[in-house]
Every structure is written in structure tokens, then in C-alpha cells.
């Protein structure tokens, strides 16, 4: 009987944790749909999110031998942002040329 009670309590805890997790996600989703954050840094990062995501691993590989964690973080962050800006600029130039060729043909 004691063993069954422990199993029951374990299941209740898991269900409660899952409920709290889903509730938290729903509350955050509802809040962000009603509240707009006007931070310029977040707006800028939003424009480069994809580029940062796909290019972040390159500086990590290059700087992996750096022992100082602050220098490693600063170098990776700086190089990733510079790569993201350059990558987006190159993609925009390619898009302009491709669209221009399609319009002229």
C-alpha cells in the first residue's frame, strides 16, 4: 500500500510540474502578444537573429584554444555579430542582383 502511495504522489508531482510548465508558457505567450518591448537593441538583434544563429559556431571553433572565458566570450560575440552583419549585407546584394536580372528578363 505504501509503495502505491509513493507511485501516486510521484505521478501527481509530474502532472503538476507539466501543468505549471504549460501554464507558464501560455502566460508568457499571452503577455508578449499584448505588451510590446521597444528596446532598440532587441529590435536590432531581431533583424540579425538568423544570421547569428547559423554563424555562431564558426568563431567558437576558431577561438576554442583561448583559456580565458571572458576573452573567449567577447571574441566570439564580436566576431559573430560582425559576421552576421557582413553575411546579411552579402545576401541583400545577391538578392538585389537576382531580382534585377529577373525583372530585366
Task: Print burial letters for 4-32: b (CB count within 10 Å at least 16), e (below 16).
Answer: eeeeeeeeeeeeeeeeeeeeeeeeeeeee
Q: What grid cell was written down for 33?
A: 502578444
Domain positions in the chain are: 1-35, 38-105
pLDDT tens track for 31-71: 877 777 777 888 888 899 999 999 999 999 999 999 999 99
pTM over 0.75: no
Amino acid at each position: 500500500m505504501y509503495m502505491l502511495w509513493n507511485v501516486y504522489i510521484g505521478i501527481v508531482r509530474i502532472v503538476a510540474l507539466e501543468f505549471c510548465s504549460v501554464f507558464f508558457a501560455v502566460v508568457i505567450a499571452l503577455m508578449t502578444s499584448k505588451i510590446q518591448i521597444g528596446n532598440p537593441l532587441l529590435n536590432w538583434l531581431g533583424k540579425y537573429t538568423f544570421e547569428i544563429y547559423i554563424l555562431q559556431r564558426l568563431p567558437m571553433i576558431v577561438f576554442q584554444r583561448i583559456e580565458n572565458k571572458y576573452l573567449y566570450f567577447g571574441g566570439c560575440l564580436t566576431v559573430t555579430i560582425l559576421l552576421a552583419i557582413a553575411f546579411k549585407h552579402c545576401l541583400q546584394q545577391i538578392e538585389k542582383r537576382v531580382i534585377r536580372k529577373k525583372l530585366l528578363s
